[in-house]
Amino acid sequence: MQPPAQQPSQPATTMYMPPQQAMMGGGLFSLHKFLMIGVILILIAGMVSVLPDFSGPPAEVDYDNLTGSDLQDRMDIEEEKHNDFVRLMDTFATIIGMAGVGLIGYAFVREAYDEDTTTPALRITLLILGTIMLLQLIGSGFNLSVSL
């Protein structure tokens, strides 16, 4: 009588192996997703920068019950508040816009290094565009100081 053939022993714990397609997919990166987020951030930055225009600067007709030096003091205070609001909204718009341009530049550079891009000309064009966008951010100086 022949002894039964031994079955290969399997390890006690099995490790999770993700599907091959998920490994090749690049995770969360998608050129279209990053471009869309970048454009949306730039549009939001444009909307934030015009928020102070909705109320406008203070006008004398808003304070018709004040006269003389009281009116001038009140107008000076309100003008300073309005200028601070404009400066704050411009700072937020700059930060949001820079994030949007940075995402678009990153998407171009990342897509240029992707293996799926078919032509070398497209890869070079994307690399140049992404580099220009990122260097434009560095060249703008990152001057986001808010004076008190």
In this prediction, residue 33 has a pLDDT band, given cuts at 50, 70 and 90, of confident
State the amino acid at position 14 in one-letter form.
T
Give the C-alpha separation, 113 to 118, whole Å: 11
Q: What is the mean pLDDT of residues 46-75?
A: 81
- Domain locations along the chain: 29-59+67-139
Whether 146 has a pLDDT exceeding 60, the answer reads: no
| pLDDT tens digit sequence for 105-115 | 888 888 877 76
pLDDT of residue 68: 77
Pick the more confident residue, 136 or 7: 136
Percent above pLDDT 90 for the chain? 11
Residue 75 has pLDDT above 50, yes or no: yes
Do 111 and 63 contact (CB within 8 A), yes or no?
A: no
Q: Measured between alpha carbons, how far is 64 from 123 in angstroms, rounded to an integer?
A: 64
Query: Of the given ranges (1-15, 24-38, 45-59, 92-106), which has the lowest mean pLDDT?
Result: 1-15
Radius of gyration of the chain (CA): 29
DSSP structure class, residue 143: -
Placement of tokens 């799926």 in the chain: 116
Whether the CB-CB separation of 127 and 108 falls below 8 Å is answered with yes
CA distance 31 to 108: 7
Mean per-residue pLDDT of the chain: 77
Mean pLDDT of 66-75: 79
